[in-house]
Amino acid sequence: MTNTCTKVFLRRRPYVGGKVSLYLDYYPAIRNPHTNKMTRRETLGIVIYAEPANEMQRRFNQEMEEKAEAIRCIRYQSLINEQFGFLDKAKQKMDFLSYFEKKAKSKYDKWICVYLHFKKFCGGSCTFGDVTASLCEDFREYLLYAHNLRHPDKKIPLSNNSAAGYWSTFRCLLKMAYKEKYITENVNDFLEGIKWQEVKKEYLTLDEMKILDATECEVPVLKRASMFGLFTGLRFSDLLQLRWE
């Protein structure tokens, strides 16, 4: 299979106030790692004077154009490394922990919990270059013996199923990082899952429901809920004790 080398051009387009905006033009189009959509343009946020009126403006234009050209060269080098399998040292040095935090904040609470556990595990510092199968296996082991972060003083261990869920979320993050080409190896291929344990639930019998319904419960909500059989995970004795708590 022949690799198609993407070219990167520095372009200009008109901007308000007699100025010009600089942007990068990719040909053929590349996939934006943040939106996962194909695109040909990358805005640099660099604006220069369309017709510099004095020496200061000319120097400003020259400095900004040099910066834009440096960015173009970095992007081109990164694309070559990806397309031909070379190690991209710039991405290796990027902050994996910041990437994790950004993804977690765009998801839901469980992602935040996993992020906080990983931050504690790695000591608050981790680059993409650090993300190896060995490191991930160590994090898997950490989750199996970790404590609940919401109650640090009580030293409550994570349940096996919580560890399994957190590990599954972390592997989902690794899949994203690989898909977005922040890591060059699909680390998930070398990792084992954490088996879920079946949780045994006890249900109230019809006779127990009738006894509970006849109980003069001091909490009206509890009595109404009992009539509809909503307490499916509690023992009968537990429910009777709730009226005293």
Helices (H), the chain: 55-83, 89-92, 96-105, 109-122, 133-145, 160-179, 206-214, 220-227, 236-242
Please state, in angstroms and rounded to a whole number, the distance separating the CA atoms of residues 226 and 110: 30
The CATH number, out of the four listed (2.40.160, 3.40.50, 1.10.150, 3.90.1690), of the domain defined by the range 91-190: 1.10.150
pLDDT in tens, 52-78: 999 999 999 999 999 999 999 988 887
Q: Which residue has 């904040």 as its token pair?
A: 105
pLDDT tens digits for range 8-23: 999 999 999 999 999 9
- Domains in the chain: boundaries: 7-86, 91-190, 206-242
pLDDT in tens, 121-174: 999 999 998 999 999 999 999 999 999 998 888 889 999 999 999 999 999 999
* Helix H or strand E segment including 154: none
